[in-house]
A = this chain, B = another copy of it.
């Protein structure tokens, strides 16, 4: 059975590969803003689950496969924190979060496809607390100069250079990277698929 990863994130791909799965990667063209606007008063969990489902549905499916859709967001002081985009925003962001905690919410939808049709589906979300360290000015400038934090949700990674500046987490670290292995395993299990059959 093939696993199709409906995400272009190299970090998610790397997590799956390290964990024994070589997925097919297919990227959806979901209009995330339009989808979010269509939800009525969604919780963060409902938002990431809805986005993960839309991404899993939108890609082309093989006749026999499982499809995994993913979406993640960082909440800090109750606010959704996106990709910084510029060095200035990344710098301001890190000055605010340094020494504080945020919550990384990841949603997944797994589809079971048989005979070319979706025959079953399961969705869920995980929340993980992230404790940010306090980089020195020199370290923060060096980190920003690498470009790494500019294009990732929340302006940090835990699996790259940002790992030096994350003091700890409470929850599942693969969820923070963008694809929760334990949650994906539970959702696969709900569809009768044992994860070890995908190794």
Q: Within 8 Å of chain B (Cβ to Cβ): is A38?
A: no
Flag if A168 contacts B166 (CB, 8 Å).
Answer: no
Q: By the criterion CB–CB under 8 Å, are B19 and A146 in contact?
A: no
Q: Is there contact, CB below 8 Å, between A19 and B136?
A: no
Tell me the chain A residues, 161-191 only, with Cβ under 8 Å from chain B: 161, 163-174, 181-182, 184-185, 189
A residues sitting closer than 8 Å to B (CB atoms) are 15, 18-20, 128, 133, 136, 138-139, 142-143, 146, 158-161, 163-174, 181-182, 184-185, 189, 194-196, 199
Residues of B within 8 A of A189 (CB): 136
Residues in B whose Cβ lies below 8 Å from that of A173: 158, 169, 173
Kindly identify which residue among B159, B167, B171, B181 contacts A172, using a CB–CB cutoff of 8 Å: B167
Q: Which residues of B contact A15 (CB under 8 A)?
A: 163
Task: Report Cα–Cα, A196/B137, bound state, in Å.
Answer: 11
Q: Which residues of B lie under 8 Å from residue A172 when comparing CB positions?
A: 166-169
Cα distance, A184 to B167, chains bound together (Å): 11
Question: Of B128, B166, B174, B196, which is within 8 A of A138 by CB?
Answer: B196
Within 8 Å CB of A146, what residues of B? 20, 199
B18 touches A196 (CB 8 A): no
Closest chain B CB from A16 CB (angstroms): 10
- Chain B residue at smallest Cβ distance from A171: B168
The answer to whether A139 touches B170, judged by C-beta atoms less than 8 angstroms apart, is no
Is A160 a contact of B18 with CB atoms below 8 Å?
Answer: yes
Distance between A125 CB and nearest chain B CB, rounded to angstroms: 14
B164 touches A19 (CB 8 A): yes
Taken together as a complex, chains A and B put the C-alpha atoms of A180 and B136 apart, in Å, by 18
Q: Given A168-B182, A173-B169, are A194 and B161 neighbors across the interface (CB < 8 Å)?
A: no
- When the two chains form their complex, are residues A195 and B18 in contact, meaning their CB atoms are under 8 A apart? no
